[in-house]
A and B are shown apart, each in its own frame.
Chain A
């Protein structure tokens, strides 16, 4: 990081540092975003180091200790912190592993959808004309039907799997990005500094990606953080329907699906903890999105 910033002239570095400090102060003042950030750091930590911190193998079955309640002690001083499921697997360890799929799908789908949407929006806004018409009408069509149903249809046909679910949920997001990027590009296109870049002989690609794109990142980050939240919810629904990743990989959605078998037996911990994990993660992304929107530009309030 140090080598990257060393090249910058002094004022720019100071500006960055000042902005960062301002963000931190506003976060501390608002309290909730700070808590959300803390929760997300924990979730990211669980996703990265799940195998190291999980007390047990998430797929190891323990027939003797099926459906044990939270805080049950097993043989050899193993503690089932959040109990075990119908196959005697440790709920806590599965929960830690589940963080991986949720975050991976949430973030990758946004990268896929965001990339498609940003490129489509930039092209649409910068060039206009028939290409703009085609892209925007395609977007209208996509928004005109209930997308989750199509996600279901494609996953039934393509078969479940991590790559498929990321692709399907990613493609579902592009229109939002394309519309916002297009609107911003339209107004930036006529600005003096963009014209200056053109006059200096910058190539079209360079003008689009190095002059225009950096100036529309603010609204994009806001949308992305709300979007991660909704994609995580969709992923949980699809996993719940059995359309997520293969059964050997624990996910929060599939844990909830398995808990249905024990619903009448009143084994509440099977459904409670994975749900809380989803709610906390999604809530944190939503709170951070709200804060980021107000922090970056109070005028963006209508976007959420």
Chain B
């Protein structure tokens, strides 16, 4: 058990080092990074001064160690357009993105389980057919297009849901204003529905298919037949015997899910003017604010890697078959 945890921990650290190395290399292949920091009219002397001041004249391995050293101390460089620490901008945008991702994740998992279970139980029926068709379609719709279509239909035509805006929930909660946070929750959810569904729909579709196929596999096994023949009610068989085993692949997906969702989050945030990392990245792209892009990438990767580590550790606890 402990050797597994330590091995997994070391693995994660290596991956994080890999992430920093790639981010470092990415900056170098774009040419001399000094030019990002000087104005277009800078003289050769000014350029050289900036280069020395920022350490871009030193050997690459030395630069890399300095880069990692700074990261460990929480220094992600200075944003070129906002003239303030990149990490600050990222941390400011992070809660909104976490809210959106969490909502999408919960939506994609909580709905996928009943959909997948019913599709499996009524295999070959019209219900199964429509759930599977939706699943196929859901995996082919770009999240940002779904967002645009929902804005046009639910936002502008029916006027049911807000097309932009954000009510914070995590920030007041973390600051200790628990009552205030929960009184804002309904409003926060109201603003979350459309972007959240747009981000999570792809995952919902994939998860529903996943639950269905793993449910079908489990339902055909001997222990389920035994449970049925003992006269246990069908609902209990499905929930206690089959689902307990069938949802394991979904748990494995939870960690990876976050990565899939991030791809959607970046573009969907932009459509709904959601004040999160996606919008930050997009603005940084347009201004070629590379330190901010780098900070976002590293930050989100670290979250993603830690989450996967956590899932692996939880997995050991919920699946007694995993022997270490």
Contacts and interface: CB of A to CB of B under 8 A. Distances in A.
Contacts of B3: none
Interface in B248-278: 258-259, 262-263, 266-267, 270-271
A96 to B, nearest CB: 19
Interface string B277-312: 000011011101010011011001100110010000
A157 B145 contact: no
A233 B282 contact: no
Interface stretch (A120-128, A189-197, A211-219, A277-285): A277-285
Interface in A248-304: 256, 259-260, 263-264, 266, 268, 271-272, 275, 278-279, 282-283, 286-287, 290, 301-302
A263 B258 CA distance: 29
Interface stretch (B46-54, B66-74, B91-99, B133-141): B133-141
23 contacts: A140-B11, A144-B308, A148-B266, A149-B300, A149-B301, A150-B22, A152-B266, A152-B281, A152-B293, A153-B293, A156-B284, A156-B293, A157-B30, A158-B29, A240-B144, A256-B142, A259-B148, A263-B148, A263-B152, A264-B156, A275-B148, A283-B140, A290-B136
B26 A256 contact: no
A144 B26 contact: no
Interface string B4-40: 0000000110110011001100110110000000000
A243 interface: yes
B142 A150 contact: no
B149 interface: yes
Contacts of B290: 156-157
B266 to A, nearest CB: 7
Contacts, number: 131
Interface of A: 140-141, 144-150, 152-154, 156-158, 229, 233-234, 236-237, 240-243, 256, 259-260, 263-264, 266, 268, 271-272, 275, 278-279, 282-283, 286-287, 290, 301-302
Given A237-B267, A266-B156, 5 more contacts: A146-B300, A149-B263, A153-B26, A153-B294, A241-B266
B263 A237 contact: yes
A159 B18 CA distance: 23
A157 B26 contact: yes
Contacts of A152: 266, 281, 285, 293, 297
B15 A144 contact: yes
A54 B301 CA distance: 44
A146 B259 contact: yes
Contact of A271 (B22, B148, B285, B297): B148
Nearest to B249: A302
Nearest to B206: A304
Contacts of A240: 142, 144, 267
B142 A236 contact: yes
Contacts of A233: 140, 142
B151 interface: yes
Contact of B297 (A149, A236, A243): A149
B213 interface: yes
A196 B247 CA distance: 45
A298 to B, nearest CB: 13
